[in-house]
Amino acid sequence: MECPYEVITTTKELGSTLRSGEEFFLCHDGTILCRKCVLENYKLIISSIKNRRNDGWRVIGLPGPREEWTESHCAHCGEEL
């Protein structure tokens, strides 16, 4: 499936996206993770990106415009987005 916001395909891209200060991240399964969870689970996410493993930790990009989001809570901590 082609996703217009699929901008993170390497761990390097994850790093630079984090450095640019993004608050929310889109996962392969369509869920959204908050920045705190991405930082706390960085190693798991790096591993999933590297191995293209769809275990729920594979961050693929940014969620795009908020009005298009179908998720309202972080998939990990459950905090409201």
| Position 39 contacts Zn ion (CB under 5 A) | no
Nearer to Zn ion, 4 or 66 (CB): 66
| Position 27 contacts Zn ion (CB under 5 A) | no
Exactly one of 45, 49, 59, 74 binds Zn ion (CB under 5 A); that residue is 74
Q: Cα 73 to chain center, whole Å?
A: 13
In a 3-state reduction of DSSP, which class is residue 18? helix
Nearer to Zn ion, 2 or 46 (CB): 46
- Of 4-12, 22-30, 35-43, 49-57, the segment contacting Zn ion by CB under 5 A is 35-43
**Token pair 């275990």 in the structure block, residue:** 55
| Position 26 contacts Zn ion (CB under 5 A) | no
Query: Strands (DSSP E) along 1-81, which ranges?
Result: 24-27, 32-34, 59-61
Instruction: Report how many residues bind Zn ion under the rule CB under 5 A.
Output: 5
